[in-house]
Amino acid sequence: MEKVIFLDRDGTLNEEVNYLHRKEDLRLLPGVPEALKKLRDAGYKLVVITNQAGVARGYYNEEDVEELHRYMNGLLAEQGGQIDAFFYCPHHPEHGIGRYKKACHCRKPETGMFERAQELFDIDKEASWMIGDKLIDVEAGRRYGVSTALVGTGYGRAERQKAEEDKCAGDGGKLKAAAGNLRQEKCLYDIYAETLNEAADKILRREADGGGASGRWR
């Protein structure tokens, strides 16, 4: 079986740009190629899963997404951090145009893109991770059954604060009661890191220590 790092794209690998689709607007975040190389060298497959509602809204097309991914992977490959597969969701349930307006199974936090990755990789869920800068990334990873990391780049710091204000806390996947009501599991993540590089280091330390997904909110 193969261990996989699933990665959000915007705000996790590259600077957050409103509806990024032009390669000249792509800016990789500091340390990203190095982090990806560490993970590749440790035997992880790298898979990007990204919601691309700009396609649904008609701001750009699927060919633009695919061209950007080829360009991005070229930059990453130059530094040993190439991505093994990209998956994207072009739909939106409310703001889509034509065939792109649908409540699909691929848009995060749904797990359709993970399931598509299963067609390429024999995924070991217990050894795999989802890393992103939004709570929907975390929720998607948890729904699929992998460990999760929230990074502080992009929207990550604000998302972490939001989760803490909601009094969500991890306890082996259990929920904390708030005012007598159980909150949804979507706020929970296994580790927090300020950057992707820090997240990679934490994941590799856990692997070296033989640790699993215990000790959330670190």
Q: Which amino acid is at 139?
A: E
Choosing from 8, 133, 137, 190, the catalytic residue is 8
Six-digit token string for 144: 């699929």
Q: Identify which of 60, 53, 50, 57 has the alpha carbon closest to the alpha carbon of residue 25.
A: 60
Given a contact cutoff of 8 angstroms between Cβ atoms, the answer to whether 153 and 185 are in contact is: no
Q: Which residues of 169-206 are buried (b: 16+ CB within 10 A; e: fewer)?
A: bbeeeebeeeeeeebeebbbbbbbbebbbbbbebbeeb
8 in active site = yes
Closest by CA to 142, choosing from 173, 183, 169, is 173
Q: Is 193 helix (H, G, I), strand (E, B) or coil?
A: strand
For the question of residue 133 being annotated catalytic, the response is no
Strands 85-89 and 129-132: unpaired
Residues designated catalytic:
8, 10
